[in-house]
Amino acid sequence: MLLEPVTLWRSGRNSLAPVPEDDLLRLVSDLENALRQQLGAGFPLTDQPGPGVMRIRLAITEARASDPIVDVLRARSAPLPPPAPGPIDPEMRRFIEAAAIEGEIRDSQTDELLAAGVDRRREGAPPLDTWAAVQTALDAWVQRLCARLERRTQGK
């Protein structure tokens, strides 16, 4: 597996401005860390394309196809401060409730599309109002992804 850095996309110029940047960076970083830990347990991770290597691209999105301007955020390598205890910022909670995780898996050499998808929280799901709840949701999503990948790649 070749895992590209997770990105975050939101429609509109400066549309990410109301959400604390450290919270957005934490969300991207937490998803990428969960992916690296859980994918790495079942699939060798690499930083180079090669035979039999799948390239995974994922983004957390709240973007409309009709909007020509999109704010994009990529994680930085600087360590983040520990999350504040208690509830997450209300703007962050609104972003998470409206967001989706979009992704694609391609052959790293031929660029052939192997899988693509969009996943959203189900309507009526309990709110994610603490960082612990967000982490639990991200871990569960990554576990489902890994289980699907393992089923699809059995013996290959």
pLDDT, tens only, 61-75: 876 555 455 556 666
- Tell me the pLDDT band of 48, cut-offs 50, 70 and 90: very high
With a cut of 70, say whether residue 58 has pLDDT above it: yes
Q: Are strands 100-107 and 113-120 parallel, antiparallel or unpaired?
A: antiparallel
Confidence at residue 46, expressed as pLDDT on a 0 to 100 scale: 94
What pTM was estimated for this model as a whole? 0.84
Domain boundaries, the chain: 2-153
pLDDT, tens only, 22-34: 888 888 888 988 9
Q: Quick one: which of 142, 110, 24, 11 has its CA closest to 73? A: 24
Confidence at residue 69, expressed as pLDDT on a 0 to 100 scale: 55
Q: Is 51 buried (19+), middle (13-18) or exposed (0-12) by CB count in 10 A? A: exposed
Confidence at residue 42, expressed as pLDDT on a 0 to 100 scale: 86
Backbone phi, then psi, for 142, in 5-degree steps?
A: -65, -40
Confidence at residue 122, expressed as pLDDT on a 0 to 100 scale: 84
